[in-house]
């Protein structure tokens, strides 16, 4: 369990969680998380460094150039990683490939097509609105391993098989919901992270006891809250 300031993004904790599980020798074969904990880099790192299959949805393949109607997303382009070239749906070859870094220091490749090729393209309206006079459509690619992992996950998460596999996450969300309702865990009663973390540990322990009680008494989880309150009233 990790307790952080509210400003810390979920993506910053994926590696921390895996490191903690490694130290305790509790690494799972599959780690099912929500979208906030998944990036292409996390998928690759979890698989290569920890032997974990990180299962969670990634962002859809979209095109910022044209949000209305049919448009060519990045998956419509063919990447030749060896030649450092990209081929568009109409067969045009990119004119520029430059290695750069995002503000987060993530390495990316910025690819451009010429304004001449894009300007005379019969399907330009489905692809780009670039009008800077030099370049037409542009693409931003992650390092090859990450880009391929991202595209593979985008294809997988659209299948029924992947959706059924990911259904197990509903149990996790149910546990979180129960913790929020029963312990009001989204607001801390304490000052400082150490005390707040201890409160989280107590909350998790309480939920474990409540669920163990429900299992021993064969109480359906949906009735756990009502039944538990009833027992408290009788005890009072």
User: What does the alpha-carbon distance between residue 186 and residue 121 come to, in Å, rounded to a whole number?
Assistant: 53
H or E stretch covering 210: helix 193-216
Q: Identify whether the C-beta of residue 186 lies closer than 8 Å to the C-beta of residue 180.
A: yes
The token duo for 226 is 């009502």
Side-chain-side CA neighbours of residue 118 (13 Å): 25
User: What does the alpha-carbon distance between residue 139 and residue 128 come to, in Å, rounded to a whole number?
Assistant: 11
Quick one: pLDDT at residue 68? 54
Phi, psi of 15, rounded to the nearest 5 degrees: -65, -35
Q: Identify whether the C-beta of residue 40 lies closer than 8 Å to the C-beta of residue 142.
A: yes
Q: Which of 72, 44, 57, 74 is nearest to 144 (CA)?
A: 44
6-35 pLDDT per residue, tens = 888 888 999 999 999 999 999 999 999 999
Q: Identify whether the C-beta of residue 116 lies closer than 8 Å to the C-beta of residue 98.
A: no
Taking the alpha carbons of 75, 79, 84, 88 in that order, is the dihedral positive or negative?
negative
Quick one: pLDDT at residue 128? 87
Quick one: pLDDT at residue 146? 95
H or E stretch covering 45: helix 40-50
- This prediction has a pTM of 0.79
User: What does the alpha-carbon distance between residue 216 and residue 123 come to, in Å, rounded to a whole number?
Assistant: 64
Quick one: pLDDT at residue 145? 95
Give the CA angle between residues 221, 235, 216 to the nearest 5°. 35
Quick one: pLDDT at residue 228? 47
Spans of the chain, pLDDT less than 70? 62-70, 221-236
The token duo for 76 is 């419509």
Residue 137's region, left for phi above 0, alpha for psi from -120 to 50, else beta, is beta
98-121 pLDDT per residue, tens = 999 988 788 999 999 999 999 889
First to last CA, the chain: 33
User: What does the alpha-carbon distance between residue 211 and residue 94 come to, in Å, rounded to a whole number?
Assistant: 58
């Amino acid at each position: 369990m990790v307790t952080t300031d509210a400003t810390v993004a979920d993506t910053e904790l994926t590696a921390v969680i895996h490191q903690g599980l490694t130290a305790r020798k509790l690494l799972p074969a599959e780690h099912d998380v929500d979208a906030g904990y998944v990036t292409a880099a996390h998928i690759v790192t979890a698989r290569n460094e920890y032997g974990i299959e990180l299962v969670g949805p990634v962002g859809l393949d979209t095109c910022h150039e044209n949000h209305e109607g049919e448009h060519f997303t990045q998956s419509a382009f063919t990447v030749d990683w060896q030649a450092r070239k990209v081929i568009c749906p109409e067969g045009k070859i990119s004119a520029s490939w430059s290695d750069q870094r995002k503000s987060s220091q993530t390495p990316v490749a910025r690819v451009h097509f010429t304004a001449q090729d894009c300007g005379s393209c019969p399907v330009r309206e489905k692809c780009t609105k670039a009008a800077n006079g030099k370049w037409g459509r542009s693409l931003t690619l992650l390092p090859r391993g990450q880009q391929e992992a991202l595209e593979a996950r985008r294809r997988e998460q659209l299948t029924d098989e992947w959706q059924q596999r990911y259904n197990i996450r509903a149990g996790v969300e149910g546990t979180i919901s129960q913790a929020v309702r029963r312990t009001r865990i989204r607001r801390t009663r304490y000052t400082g992270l150490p005390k707040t973390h201890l409160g989280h540990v107590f909350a998790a322990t309480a939920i474990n006891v409540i669920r163990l009680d429900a299992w021993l008494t064969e109480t359906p989880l949906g009735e756990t809250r009502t039944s538990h309150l009833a027992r408290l009233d009788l005890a009072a």
